[in-house]
Chains A and B, each alone.
Chain A
């Protein structure tokens, strides 16, 4: 399938501003933008999609340029493929520094107001953060949807796991998930329907996964009076594996290869490039371009709608009709060249508006537009996973730096009664050695050569000994919603186009730190069962250094952004309803992790994708109501589109 964004699909500022007939204006081309566009176009709707960044990855050459950028970056940070773009900047890790109490760091795009500094990132480019994501797709567990009720922590969702389950299946189909349901059926896990299988078979666990399992299988840990048996289980993953002939009642599944080139070369099965983050070089990993390619193909089909894409278009202000609170248009700054702040400002209009720019940017846009919402909760309840690493050397060679970044983990501590007292976590077994914690293996080479004074055979032996025995556990720790963890804007901090930058204020709550302290203990226990030599060191000068009960930890961001426009049961306790529709602005949807009142211990993209299906059903209902009643035209007010209150569903 080709991601053929031919010139007729790209629109111009002039054309976009002059076209009043869009059913939906979608801001963002990431997972939510693409999936919502696909569902709307499938039903014959016209969509305008705005992308703040360049659309480099639309061609194979552009996509490969990103891969090359990564290759030639000596630091190889998680945004290395994506060039600096002052007009639509993104957070970057290497520039972070530790904050002293009361300090604010505005040297990076995301202003960190502390007290803790996060290295969380997201990508502003065609494909959004699906360009960069690791593509693990665990479902949330049912208890994650009601943590307030069950554990007195965080916030409940207005919907349950069961409500979302059919949409999880849809999302798993769209993303082509490889997974082994059998390995995921365990007490406390996510319940799957009887006979359900993933579109593709599970990825084979790595040699390292097997080694960890050999060390822990048949052992258990005691937590809160509960005995928890340990086992390594493979995560479901949105990357191409071997199609499962039993999928869809025996109909099987056809994988989607690389878009924009021939499948014979790229995009078939995962080859084990060990580079899911920050970019899969062969597009075996799902990215939203695969869904966009489907949408673009619909343009040629008679019953389907159409999409127009306006690249390098930064949504800058949501304009509201003061009479009815509806969105009247979105002000967009369109630039020609990332190196120049020169731009033109246009206003685009549609019947409905869908903002899908991930939790930090969506909140930033609303707040910059002066729309904190009735509840005042826009930007509040910012959620991310707290990551804690523990690393060591296995007793024998474990074959690090092969496979996907992570195939398996220890999932048995994702759920349990202990969540009343301490945060749950999921454990990743990383196949890419210590890289996330120590910038290995480069730092190993420099250490062995410069400090170890090794060369020749001794160096080769040293590298085998030091690098191919690397084991790292990444603990993904639950952080419940908390109103004081928040995104704000401040007119003194703006980007090159004059848009206000996001300010982030974040504290890892004690509940999560208790989980972190236990995670560290847990790592030591597992290491001792495996005979692993612990090399974990947390540096007080690290930006994420936290002292809890006398022990120091480095807490990292998880890039799993949630909570800045949470969904709830009414306009006083939330920003959007269970369909991600704004309570205050009836023709506005805020789609993405920001709607999630809790994220539990699941990587969030699958849940975000599942929510898209739910939301598009509501959008289609709303749009069809508008078509049959003609309720949208408010010519007298000068606004072309909107919905009267009585069409609220």
Chain B
């Protein structure tokens, strides 16, 4: 007895002889390629398949459950081969159609097309369709989309694909989608998959009643689908225009950023932020090569999606023919771009594995001996030498011929654990080894002027150019014993950092005032309005005020 396969035509399951199956498949493909060029081809195919299913149903009797070759031949005789069709346009398109018809037969077996897979979908069948096209498990593509969703472009990408890819509706579409060579085994497999799914559905919904209900729902969704289809066609065009505009905008901006002016960002209202690109990158990357790799990597990783966006826009508007090879090539290129970025990133990360905390040689401790008067803290307001390449109120970098100057200085104030008033000046830098950090710390200069009753902090750090920008910063830490008072000068406004105090006064508002360290923390001595203080605390403050006032009188 011949082997049989189970197939699903227009939602009805048949058992069919393998030879008969091959004949039927050939026949369907012929018709399909005959109508290939007409807009209605999908609908015509569905109608023809439905009629074939009907004819087959008539052949099935209780004695004969399997469709034989002769049944297929009969059906073909009834339906007729494409050559026998009377086509209204025949006279005009006779010749070219015949030609493409014969060549189609050859190409059909290997030609793969991108469709959304309605049978194996989670959302729109995009991942399943892509998976079938690329010949991988759908799971991987779904994973990719989930990851991409978190990276940020996943949602947009999915929607674009959903719009661009059409759904595999007919049996021949599905074969095209999977693109397996047309031989008996493969076809059998494809259709068997479908049949299994069908029978599952039947079991789920229960025979007659279920089928009717399903059809009612189905026709409702068909109706909705038709409306949506129309809406999507319009939306598609709108999206197309939007994609084109956004894509072009980004592309111009991006190219401008890479090759245009010397300044990368100048979104400045009052000089908030600006970078002179070349100089800046030379100070970050280890070598020119690394710099170039990074630039190309970034160009590819950011540029390609932008170009794809423009492409998708053009596709929606003008129905450009998609070449799968191009998309795959672009994707590979994009992965290479990411790889390049990762390479530079990893190399950079190793540059920054060590910092001062691993060496502890960058810390200088000073002890203040005069503990009676207000201790005065201020910062110099010298001009920072060199040309500014990054200018910001809180953080600036400038350059001259052999040095780099930074302004990354921070002031913190804590309660001293001992009775002595100490100031720690901590220099910090990052490097690839302990030794590297040590060398860099030694070549890092920071000036301050300490007197008995005051400290004047320098407003910049300097280091040699070849040390590059490696997170150089200075932390000034004041350890204030209980009972000691200080005056914070207004010049500290850019370096004072999160100083805790009993009134939770905001850093900049702490300036130009006198503060005393009490058991509870820093307390303002001469603020006009003190909120959130108990009377007991106020008494304590007055108690400390008295000797200070007396000293001033002297």
Partners in one complex: no
* Contacts from B to A (Cβ < 8 Å): none
